[in-house]
A = this chain, B = another copy of it.
Amino acid sequence: MNSDEKSQPVFEKGERASADYFTGNVWVKFLVPKSDIYNCQIANVVFEAGARTNWHTHAGGQILIVIEGAGYYQEKGKPVQLLHKGDVVQISPDLVHWHGAAADSSLTHIAVNTNTEQGVVTWLAKVTDEEYRHVK
């Protein structure tokens, strides 16, 4: 495999994510649909620079695996964490949090929603521009 092939994204971008639950341009490609056999759901998510999720929770928890770019992860009431390619984030069930791209870089992560028999996601308020600017 040559360098050009290696520098191609692992996954195609998928479908545009809903503006109800995301700010900015975000694409979601489902890799494993919500499954009773595997008790999980897996998606690849691409955030354009500045784009992010709403605040939200996962009743069954979530694992993020960053495969390209740079971004942010924040748990409610805590300092923001910087995300880079190769980082892995464990998000406990029912923890209020958001994630997204840095202001000057796109972010691509695989999201593993675990224990989906307990629920997948509960969407909350948007991450405002003020909240987002605050992380820098």
**B10 lies within 8 A of A90 (CB):** no
The answer to whether A112 touches B39, judged by C-beta atoms less than 8 angstroms apart, is: no
Q: Is A86 an interface residue (CB 8 A)?
A: yes
A63 an interface residue at 8 Å Cβ cutoff?
A: yes
A90 touches B32 (CB 8 A): yes
A86 with B42, Cβ < 8 A, contacts A1-B69, A69-B1, A92-B37 known: no
Q: How far is the CA of A12 from the CA of B86 in the complex (A)?
A: 8
Number of copies: 2
User: Which residues of the other chain, B, contact A10 by a CB distance below 8 angstroms?
Assistant: 67-68, 85-86
| List of B residues within 8 angstroms of A42 by Cβ | 63, 65, 88, 112
- A38-74 at interface with B (beta carbon < 8 Å): 38-40, 42, 61, 63, 65, 67-70
Residue of B nearest to A117 (CB): B39
A→B interface (CB under 8 Å): 1, 3, 5-8, 10-12, 31-32, 35, 37-40, 42, 61, 63, 65, 67-70, 85-86, 88, 90, 92-93, 105, 110, 112, 114-115
